Every structure is written in structure tokens, then in C-alpha cells.
Amino acid sequence: MIITADAERRYIRDIFGALGSTEPEAEALAEVLTEADLRGHGSHGFVRVLLNVNLIRREDVRPGSQPRVVRETGPTAVMDGDRANGPYAGILAAREAISRAKERGIGAVSLMECGHLGLAGYYPELAAREGFVGILAAKSESSVHPHGGVEPLIGTNPLAIAIPSDSDPLLLDISTAAVAAGKVREALRAGRPLPEGSAVDTAGNPTTDAQAAIDGALSAMGGAKGYGLALAVEILGGLLTGGAVGPMGVAGRQGGATKRQLWSALIIVLDPAAFVDPGEFKTAVSSYLSRVQNSRKAPGSAEILIPGERSFRTRRERLSTGVPIEDGVWRQVADIARDLGLNPDSYKVTTSFGL
């Protein structure tokens, strides 16, 4: 299935509007999921409609929530996500950090109790597009075993850094796991194996079978070093935010009902002007990146890419050629849409591609 980015955004907005989300909430969710698909990260795109619908239906995420600052000390703030969907809360937190960086040279916002954030790099990129450096460390579902262990006690915990340049920013967006959890689900649906060293089964034996990995645990990237990084992100994105660490389960009771632990993140924004001339900094970044790209290639290497370059390239292509959606995922979301009184076929029709 190929649709335009505009059609995907409209489809997602309409689904979550029908579920009771406000226009800004639905817009944020549609924006972040569609951007993931545009950039070639299908594991965090349209397929995540299913997760977000389930979060609402389980009442883990609540439409109409009001993320808000509950504590602040000049450049820092603690934001309670109020169980809002992740993209809505994440954009508000990023904007809060940017605002504080404009005033103080640095802004650091911890965000707790929100839904799945989706594309981690989206939030620091908001800062980079305004000339700031953005950093995000997020606590996610625990599916990674400690180095030398077997139990899934650590999240896949993305780390994202965006640095402005004279063109597209350098955008590092990585899972600290050897493979992101969403990629494992993609492999399961496609019936393809995982890369070697990605996961262990329930007995702790290495496996490339996606279902065995889901039942067992994922491995951290880079062995002991990646494990250390994943553990640090777990604490920064979990405990330091006022959230929690370890498996996402029932954290307690609130108002007589069980309360499920949700996602959390730490967002830091730096103003280059607090350290150097910002214009000179961007030019120097661009010059250095160009030097890296134009350096001598290894045998068999056609080009040297900068972090984020491939996704920006894919985005430009898909704005012209359309966004591919897996047929099975389309059918699952279509069932949800029909239950909500929407017509899935109306989102297939595009003037750009003649569908």
C-alpha cells in the first residue's frame, strides 16, 4: 500500500480524534508517526497506530490529558506527562527545553508518565532546526538483558543527539539495544532472521529467531560497552525523570485503580551561543562533516554517510513517491477505523499517485 504523507497524517488524526483526542494531541501523534515512515523507520510509523489505540483502550493513555511543569529551577523543569500520548507530551517537553535554553543557554526537562514517544530523534531535531543542540535519553520497554545475564531488565532505551549545521543537522538516533524492539516485530511479520548477536532465547542462548528473541531478551549493542550505555540511559531517562527503571508493569494504585508505569525521557537543549559564535559553529560543523564525507573510502565503500543523512534522503524521496505501508498493518488499522465509523478507502485515494 502506497499513500501520501498528507493522507497518512489525516488518517491518523481522524482515528485518534474519533477516540477522543484533542486536535493538538491527534496532530502530534500523526506528525511523529508519519515522519517515522517518511524517513524509512517503519517500525515506529503507521504500525504504531495499533499500540497507541491499545494504550487508550486500556486507559494507560488518556485523551484530553494536560502535560504540565510541576517543578522548575531556572533552566530545568520536571514535566508530568499526565498520561498523554507520547508525541504530544514529547513535543511539549522539547519546546519547554528550547524555551529555557533561549533564556539561560541551557534547558533540561525531565518528562515522566506519558505514552510511547515514537521516533526519538524527532524531539532533539526540533531544537537543531532552531540552531540549538538537542539531546534525548529515553526509558522504554525492558527487553534487553544485562551483559552476562539473561533477564530482560533494561529498556531498548534510545539515545538521540541533533547538532545544527548549515544544511540538515547531524541526527544520531540509536537504540542502545543491538536491534530495536520494533525491528524485531518487523522481522517476525516478514519471517526473516535477526542479525547475529541481536538476542538470546529464554535459556540465554544466542538466537536469530524473532519469536525466540521476544520470548527471551535482546542484547545490548556493542557488548559490555553498549550494556553500560543502555544502563546509563535507563537511569537518566528513568530514575532522574521521576519515572522508574526495569520492566514496565503495575507501579502502584491511584484513585482505587492500578496504575501502569509508562514511558519517560530526559531532554537537554544547549544554545551554542553560550559557548561560541553560533554562526561560526554551524559553519565549522558543516565544514568538518564535509571533510569526513570526502575522506578516503574503504575498499567496497561507495560513500561515507553522516548520521541522519540516509533518513533525510529517504524523506525527500518518499515525499515524491509516497509512503509504503505493509498490507497486513493496513488491514489491522482499517478494522479499527471501521469500528470508529471511518472509511479506510477514503485515505487510499491520492491525486499524487493515482491510487
213 three-class SS = helix
Kindly state whether residues 146 and 226 are assigned to the same domain: yes
Q: How is residue 346 annotated by DSSP? A: G
> Would residue 273 count as lying in a domain?
yes
Mean pLDDT value across the chain: 93
> Would residue 192 count as lying in a domain?
no
Between CA 321 and CA 352 the distance in angstroms is: 8
**Confidence band (pLDDT; 50, 70, 90) for 306?**
very high
* Alpha-carbon dihedral 354, 118, 220, 110, rounded to 10 degrees: 160
Closest CA to 158 of 261, 243, 264, 60: 264
Query: Are the beta carbons of 267 and 237 closer than 8 angstroms?
Result: no
pLDDT digits 0-9 by tens, 52-91: 999 999 999 999 999 999 999 999 999 999 999 999 999 9
Residue 353 has pLDDT above 60, yes or no: no
Kindly state whether residues 42 and 73 are assigned to the same domain: no
Query: Are the beta carbons of 333 and 50 closer than 8 angstroms?
Result: yes
Kindly state whether residues 58 and 115 are assigned to the same domain: no
Kindly state whether residues 150 and 93 are assigned to the same domain: yes
> Would residue 301 count as lying in a domain?
no
As given in the structure block, the three cell numbers for residue 355 are 491510487
Provide the total of helices (H) and of strands (E) in the chain, helices listed first: 11, 16
Kindly state whether residues 113 and 87 are assigned to the same domain: yes
pTM score of the predicted model: 0.92
Residue 130 has pLDDT above 60, yes or no: yes
Between CA 11 and CA 4 the distance in angstroms is: 11
Residue 320 has pLDDT above 80, yes or no: yes
- Whose cell is 542462548? That residue is 205
**Confidence band (pLDDT; 50, 70, 90) for 1?**
confident
Q: How is residue 43 annotated by DSSP? A: G
**Confidence band (pLDDT; 50, 70, 90) for 181?**
confident
Which of 293, 310, 345 is the C-terminal boundary of a domain?
293
Kindly state whether residues 49 and 165 are assigned to the same domain: no
Domain region containing 42: 1-64+321-355
12 three-class SS = helix
Kindly state whether residues 89 and 159 are assigned to the same domain: yes
> Would residue 196 count as lying in a domain?
no
198 three-class SS = coil
pLDDT digits 0-9 by tens, 189-236: 889 999 999 999 999 999 999 999 999 999 999 999 999 999 999 999
Residue 253 has pLDDT above 50, yes or no: no
pLDDT digits 0-9 by tens, 11-27: 999 999 999 999 999 99
Mean pLDDT over residues 278-298, rounded? 97
Phi, psi of 257 (to 5 degrees): -120, 155
* Alpha-carbon dihedral 165, 171, 172, 174, rounded to 10 degrees: 180
Kindly state whether residues 54 and 94 are assigned to the same domain: no
Residue 351 has pLDDT above 80, yes or no: no
From the number of C-beta atoms within 10 Å of its C-beta (0-12, 13-18, 19+), residue 141 rates as middle
258 three-class SS = strand
> Would residue 107 count as lying in a domain?
yes
Kindly state whether residues 58 and 92 are assigned to the same domain: no
Kindly state whether residues 116 and 73 are assigned to the same domain: yes
The set of residues, in sequence order, having a beta carbon less than 8 Å from that of 309 and lying 6+ positions away, is 168
CATH number for the domain spanning 351: value is: 1.10.1530.10
pLDDT digits 0-9 by tens, 91-100: 999 999 999 9
Between CA 274 and CA 81 the distance in angstroms is: 29
> Would residue 128 count as lying in a domain?
yes
Which of 274, 293, 312 is the C-terminal boundary of a domain?
293
Query: Are the beta carbons of 291 and 9 closer than 8 angstroms?
Result: no
Kindly state whether residues 225 and 250 are assigned to the same domain: yes
**Confidence band (pLDDT; 50, 70, 90) for 245?**
confident
> Would residue 314 count as lying in a domain?
no
Residue 260 has pLDDT above 50, yes or no: yes
**Confidence band (pLDDT; 50, 70, 90) for 170?**
very high
> Would residue 325 count as lying in a domain?
yes
pLDDT of residue 254: 41
Mean pLDDT over residues 330-345, rounded? 96
Is 251 or 345 the better-scoring residue by pLDDT? 345
Kindly state whether residues 31 and 152 are assigned to the same domain: no
CATH number for the domain spanning 266: value is: 3.30.1370.60
Query: Are the beta carbons of 217 and 142 closer than 8 angstroms?
Result: no
Query: Are the beta carbons of 121 and 141 closer than 8 angstroms?
Result: no
- Counting every residue, how long is the chain? 355
As given in the structure block, the three cell numbers for residue 101 are 535554553
Q: In what order do the strands lie in the sheet with 142-144?
A: 154-155, 142-144, 217-218, 199-200, 206-207
Per the structure, how many domains does the chain have?
Answer: 2
Query: Are the beta carbons of 261 and 144 closer than 8 angstroms?
Result: no
